[in-house]
Amino acid sequence: MTKETNAELYDRARRVTPGGVNSPVRAFRAVEGAPRFISRGEGAYIIDEEGTRYLDFVGSWGPLILGHSHPEVIETIQNKAALGTTFGAPCRAEIELAEAVTAAYPGLEQVRFVSSGTEATMSAIRLARGATGRDLIVKFSGCYHGHADHLLVAAGSGLVTAGQPSSAGVPKDFAALTLVLPLDDEEKLSALFAAEGERIAAVIIEPIPANNGLLLQRKEYLLTLRRLTRESGTLLIFDEVISGFRIAKGGAAEYYGITPDLATFGKVIGGGLPVGAYGGSAQLMSHIAPEGPVYQAGTLSGNPVAMAAGLATLRILEREKAWAKLEDLGAQFESAVAPVLENSPWALTRIGSLVWLRSKGESPRAAEAVDSGAGARFRPLFHALLERGIYIPPSAYEVLFLSLAHTPEDIAKFAAGLKDALASVP
């Protein structure tokens, strides 16, 4: 078979797939050029169809906390798949993974598995509405919770704005049930709850917002949110799809010492396979069918192969004391890279193994403070790094992910490559 270039594969893909991709950011539209079509991954590296090897800081956008093709996870997947890939019936692995997740996360007594983070947040919102009998939900600009209709809304102006659809196909009347607030603004948050608190079913937030830059929140702000939701009978949902089992064993809830009513998960708990989950107290989860009237189902939910991969990943993280190691790795990364950025337009924001290469200045806590001009400056830097064998997210507003597969030598390689790349761009 004749080897095809990435550009040739992209041309083929665009004939049969919208934009040539199955998730928009993969198309390289923000940075231009042909996306890399990956053939395999090894530890901290990926290899594209042309045979080019890259040091990877995308990690499939977060799930690969152990790195690519971890031998134990691969062996687990192979052994489990040999017994059957799906049954549409309960299996032991889903019990064991549920036990591991509930034991790790503060306040979690029961969990329901789904196949994606979007399914998890969508189902958690439905549960909140069903349990409270209320319709309104609140989200924050700069927080992304998947592509369910009621969460694809954008912020407006004023105290609080009824959500306006940020995607075609989302009815305005439906989006209007979602209220949007800016992050890090206690005054607007308190005013909203004073006016509408008794009508709000749930507030959903990334406690560590990592989809529009890395917008680290003050603990005091999150505590205010926890107090206001509790006083009004509103459910607080932590979207821990990115932060869960990455920032700490108990996610951002453990890190901040704040227990939400419901939490959603994805990424890490699938061990590289499609898994999502949502959970809370047994009392809240009793509203879910077949126990209660809130319906949610999925043919591949609790898939035995995916459950086994997630369980293997969590056990390795526990055994390796991974969270301390990842914090140390993140600190090494920051120490190596920060000096390289001193005379550049760029700086770092970091928490644990999440890193954002951002515009210089104060690290923003709200989406409205993010530098909208960073994309144009980022484009040549991205390609300069790619030419040097370093693969980072193809967007100025996405975070880099570190994994246990990254070594001090990999960090040194990144720092040296970044220094060289910066010298090569205007």
Spatial contact of 313 and 268, defined as CB atoms under 8 Å apart: yes
So which residues are the catalytic ones?
144, 239, 267
pLDDT score recorded for residue 162? 43
Domain range 71-319, CATH architecture: 3-Layer(aba) Sandwich (3.40)
Domain residue ranges of the chain, discontinuous segments joined by +: 6-69+321-424, 71-319
**Looking at the predicted structure, is the pLDDT value of residue 163 above 70?**
no
Give the position of tokens 């917008």: 215
Asked, as a colleague might, if the bond just before 290 is cis with ω within 30 of 0, I would say yes
Which strand (E) or helix (H) includes residue 41? strand 38-42
When pLDDT is averaged across residues 178-204 and rounded to a whole number, the result is 96
Q: In this predicted model, what pLDDT tens digit does every residue of 52-78 receive, in sequence order?
A: 999 999 999 999 999 999 999 999 999
The sheet carrying 346-351 orders its strands as 346-351, 354-359, 400-401
**Looking at the predicted structure, is the pLDDT value of residue 173 above 80?**
no
Strands annotated E in 69-199:
110-114, 136-140, 153-154, 161-162, 164-165, 178-181
Most distant CA pair in the chain, distance = 67
Q: In this predicted model, what pLDDT tens digit does every residue of 384-425 receive, in sequence order?
A: 999 999 999 999 999 999 999 999 999 999 999 999 999 999
Would you call 306 exposed, middle or buried from its count of C-beta atoms within 10 A (0-12, 13-18, 19+)?
A: buried
pLDDT score recorded for residue 124? 98
Residues composing the chain: 426
Spatial contact of 84 and 93, defined as CB atoms under 8 Å apart: no
When pLDDT is averaged across residues 260-282 and rounded to a whole number, the result is 98
pLDDT score recorded for residue 156? 31
Closest CA to 374 of 344, 417, 345, 399: 345
**Looking at the predicted structure, is the pLDDT value of residue 165 above 80?**
no
**Looking at the predicted structure, is the pLDDT value of residue 217 above 60?**
yes
SS3 (DSSP) at 398: coil
pTM comes to 0.95
Q: How far apart are CA 43 and CA 59, in angstroms?
A: 10
Q: How far apart are CA 237 and CA 229, in angstroms?
A: 10
**Looking at the predicted structure, is the pLDDT value of residue 290 above 80?**
yes
Q: Where are the alpha helices (DSSP H) in 3-111?
A: 6-16, 71-81, 92-104
Q: In this predicted model, what pLDDT tens digit does every residue of 11-32 receive, in sequence order?
A: 999 999 999 999 989 999 999 9
When pLDDT is averaged across residues 135-139 and rounded to a whole number, the result is 95
- The CATH code that applies to domain 6-69+321-424 is 3.90.1150.10
CA 270 from chain centre, in angstroms, equals 13
Return phi, psi of residue 391, to 5°.
Answer: -110, 115
Closest CA to 25 of 398, 373, 377: 398
pLDDT-above-70 percentage for the chain: 96
Q: In this predicted model, what pLDDT tens digit does every residue of 238-254 receive, in sequence order?
A: 999 999 999 999 999 99
pLDDT score recorded for residue 7? 96
- 220: CB partners within 8 A, 6+ apart: none
Asked, as a colleague might, if the bond just before 260 is cis with ω within 30 of 0, I would say no
Q: Where are the alpha helices (DSSP H) in 197-256?
A: 219-232, 251-256
Q: What is the mean pLDDT of the chain?
A: 94
Same fold, 6-69+321-424 and 71-319: no
**Looking at the predicted structure, is the pLDDT value of residue 211 above 50?**
yes
pLDDT-above-90 percentage for the chain: 90
